[in-house]
Structure 1
Amino acid sequence: MKLLLIHTGGTIGMAETSEGLAPRKGLVEEATAERLPAGAVLTADVFDPLLDSADVGPAHWNRMLETVRRHPDAAVIITHGTDTMAFTGAALSQALAGESRRVILCGSMLPLGHNGDAEGNLDLAISATASKEPGVFLAFAGKLLAADGLVKHDSHEADAFRAQPQATPDVPQRRTFEDRKLAILTLSPGIPAEAVKAMLERLDGAVLRIFGAGTAMNDTILLSVLAEAVRNGKRLRAVSQCEAGGLSPGAYAAGAGLWSKGIENGGTETPEAALIHLWLN
């Protein structure tokens, strides 16, 4: 068995310092090596510097993808902080679609050696590499979750993630992440149309988090701003602010103005998955 470990950082590899928890090189690599079955060969690719997941972005996704593709015969574990795990899960799931690779993401709410969840999550990740089922998965809290639609629903408890089922993704047009300006914008009662316009002027596209099954305020100025952005070639993809259920355009008259402006329907996509869709398609 060949195992590729990509250690990006995160709580799982932190240790106590005089200033609080901070990343420490070697912890995750040693813990992984100790758990491997006899005869397994470990290759470790360690980010330098190790990252808090709040700092992970497209350039880091590209590095992960490049490393995975350089080791076509290896099982893959990527250790990562939990705060942006959902973004990385969606990014790798969509970028690797159709490549028949199996990648296991792993992180924890408490570091290794703190009598928490880290050891169990790492054990689960290692055991999960034995399967040949392709896809990107998260090993967390005793569960193996599809990583394409992760939702971090709890900021403290060990059972922090849910998996929101996603539609089968198309093979992406792009396999890596280009330097594009994209963001997730949440429509909220009273949001100034001018603020949305200012944001969209700086962006190449955006995910719009709208209400319920697909409604938005009937603000003629805001709707004009969205229509102008679409005319200018900016892709706007809508998802629901609800965690489950997705969108049903046309179900309510309150959404008619929005959907007439050329907004894309993200269906049941999470905001993270919709953002990655814009990046790769």
Structure 2
Amino acid sequence: MSSSIAAARIVILGTGGTIAGRASQTGDNVSYTAGQVAVADLVAAVPALNASRLEVEQVSQVDSKDMGLSVWQSLVTRLVYHLGQLDVASVIVTHGTDTLEETAYLLQRLLQPAKPVVLTCAMRPASALVPDGPQNLSDAVAVAQQAQGGVLVVCAGQVHAAQDVAKVHTYRLDAFDSGDAGALACVEEGHVRCFRPWPGGGTAPGDSARLAQFLAIDALPRVELITSHADADGTVVRALLKWGAPRPVRGIVVAGTGNGTVHHDLIAALSDAQAQGVRVVVSSRCAWGRVVPHPGLAFEHSSGLSPVKARLALALDLLGA
């Protein structure tokens, strides 16, 4: 068998989300139930995909707002298996939009895949009068066939890197953005036009010891996310320290104002937490930009990660993964 034929198969893993959602009326794009349509049915509803060599598998059926460790572990397990198959060229994951950026970051951090892992989604349910899921899925297949590795996100014709992507709109079809970095590419009638290089992947689907550790845990190290704002104080931080049992807090990410600034009352409480062995990381609640390091920062910065990604990064660091 030639290498081109051996590398032709694409696996599509379903996890639920709006793309698999249903509402009682076709005109209702809001009051729907996510995770109702099997991934096999989603693929079958896109005739353009018939020409591709696809395999589908249902990993879960969840509303991504409820995403958690057990689903991530199941997804990582199946990704490691499929990426390790010589005849698999890439893997697509259908996912809800609410926590897609977190899953994408987690997968990139854990797997650093040499083959493309493409997450796609929808802002309208499958039952909508004009659903966006079929086009996103078709675009994801095009990207999976042409990308060169790493974890990617495809939505509304745009291709984003896991490190940069964030959901920035509550309703629009083009709900995702990559901030200052910008999109990696776009999809035009099945053809991918690149704007910058594909993110580098590893040479193998993940480090076995690191993955084994992640897959064996019952819970990630507890890292809480709080926000600095006008009239903030340290009540929440002190409550976490006092009533954290049976899972004591081990890390806190604070979404600071502007360039990582934090209310002075909150700094005092976070400094007490740090003195008690809790690791504190500061990000920014701003949608664009990053915390630019400077001597005046009260705590270590998030290395450009958004608050939700910084929370995951800190949890994985504390785990040693």
In structure 1, the residue matched to 2:196 is none
Match of 2:192 in 1: none
Q: TM-score, normalised by structure 2?
A: 0.74
Alignment check: 8 A CA contact 1:210 1:239 kept: yes
| Distance in 2, Cα, partners of 1:92 & 1:130 | 19
Asked whether 1:216 is paired with 2:257, we answer no
Q: Is contact 2:227–2:254 with CA below 8 Å preserved after alignment?
A: yes
Cα 1:248/1:112, change in 2 over 3 Å: same
2:50 matched to 1:43?
A: no
State how far apart, in whole Å, the 2-side matches of 1:236 and 1:214 are: 12
Task: Identify the range of structure 1 (16-25 vs 29-38) with the bigger mean alpha-carbon deviation.
Answer: 16-25
For 1:113-152, list aligned pairs within 5 A. 114=128, 115-152=130-167
On the 8 A contact 1:109/1:117 being kept in 2, the answer is yes
Whole-angstrom distance in 2 between the partners of 1:214 and 1:169 = 30
Structure 1 match to 2:174: 159
SS at match of 1:45: strand
Given the superposition, is the C-alpha separation of residues 43 and 116 from structure 1 closer, same or farther in structure 2, using an over 3 Å criterion?
Answer: closer
Q: Following TM superposition, by how much is the alpha carbon of 1:113 offset from its aligned partner in structure 2, in angstroms?
A: 5.2
- The one-character-per-residue Cα deviations of 1:138-184 (angstroms, maximum 9, x if unpaired) are 11001111122222111111110101349999999944274121221
Deviates further, 125-134 or 32-41: 32-41
Partner Cα separation in structure 2 for residue 148 and residue 29 of structure 1: 29
- The answer to whether 1:12 aligns with 2:19 is yes
C-alpha contact (below 8 Å) 1:147/1:163 kept by paired residues: no
Q: In 2, Cα distance between the equivalents of 1:204 and 1:31?
A: 41
The equivalent residue for 1:194 is 235
Counterpart residue number, 1:227? 271
Q: How does 1:238-257 map to 2 (within 5 A)?
A: 238-250=282-294, 256=296
* 1:61 and 2:72 are equivalent in the alignment: yes
- Residues 230-275 of structure 1 deviation map (CA, whole Å, 9 limit, x = unaligned): 2222211110121222113437xxxx4x62xxx2211321112211
CA distance in 1, matches of 2:163, 2:109: 7
Alpha-carbon separation, structure 1, partners of 2:255 and 2:235: 17
- What do residues 64-100 of structure 1 show as CA deviations (whole Å, max 9, x unaligned)? 1111001123221111111111211211121112x41
Task: Tell me the residue number matched to 2:251.
Answer: 205
Q: 1:45 to 1:194 in 2, by over 3 A?
A: same
Q: Cα deviation per residue 1:101-147 (whole Å; 9 max; x = unaligned)? A: 31111110112353131111011011111125111111100111112
Q: Pick closer, same or farther for the CA change 1:278–1:174 going to 2, 3 Å.
A: farther
Confirm or deny: 8 A CA contact 1:12 1:81 kept in the other structure: yes
Q: For residue 68 of structure 2, what is the amino acid of its counterpart?
A: G
- Report how far residue 214 of structure 1 moved: 2.6
Cα distance change on mapping 1:265 and 1:169 into 2, 3 Å:
farther
Tell me the distance in 1 between the aligned counterparts of 2:252 and 2:236.
Answer: 14
SS in 1 for 2:32: strand
What TM-score do you get using the length of structure 1 for normalisation? 0.84
Separation in 1 of the partners of 2:200 and 2:229? 30
Identity %: 27
C-alpha separation between the residues in 2 aligned to 1:225 and 1:216? 11
- SS of 1:36's partner is helix
The Cα RMSD (Å) is 2.8
Partner Cα distance (2:32, 2:136) in 1: 19
| Aligned with residue 301 of structure 2, among 245, 259, 265 | 265
Query: Could you list the per-position Cα deviations for residues 219-240 of structure 1 after superposition, in whole angstroms to 9, with x for gaps in the alignment?
Result: 3xx4332222222222111101
CA distance in 2, matches of 1:224, 1:112: 49
Distance 2:200 2:118 in 1: 19
Q: Alignment length, in residue pairs? A: 267
Q: 1:52 to 1:42 in 2, by over 3 A?
A: same
1:31 Cα shift? Answer: 3.3
